[in-house]
């Protein structure tokens, strides 16, 4: 069960976390950390949601620890709401054969 660390009632900034982590165990830790902070999976290695400044700093520390010394990259992007509202997102559900 996911334990959400950030209080969902607190306003936060739109945040996007992108990652490419080679080690399976460390990648799972990154994924779990994102879920624990209430971020939703946007695609396989991308999570999005709203984080307060304090929650973002905590998540950064946790993700840095999760990556450790293994190969990979984690990007935490703080966005403005207008960027989300103005974004073009193309989504297609494949037809059943």
Contact 5, 33 (CB under 8 A): no
Alpha-carbon distance of 70 to 47, in angstroms, equals: 21
Alpha-carbon distance of 14 to 87, in angstroms, equals: 13
Ligand-binding site membership of 20 (annotated): yes
Binding residues: 20
**Feature table: binding site for Mg(2+):** 20
């Amino acid at each position: 069960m996911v334990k959400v660390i950030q209080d969902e009632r607190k306003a936060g900034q739109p945040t996007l976390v992108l990652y490419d982590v080679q080690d399976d165990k460390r990648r799972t830790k990154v994924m779990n950390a994102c879920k624990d902070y209430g971020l939703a999976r946007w695609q396989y290695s991308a999570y999005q949601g709203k984080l307060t400044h304090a929650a973002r700093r905590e998540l950064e520390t946790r993700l840095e620890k999760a990556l450790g010394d293994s190969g990979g990259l984690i990007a935490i992007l703080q966005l403005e709401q207008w960027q989300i509202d103005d974004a073009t997102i193309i989504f297609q559900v494949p037809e059943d054969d």
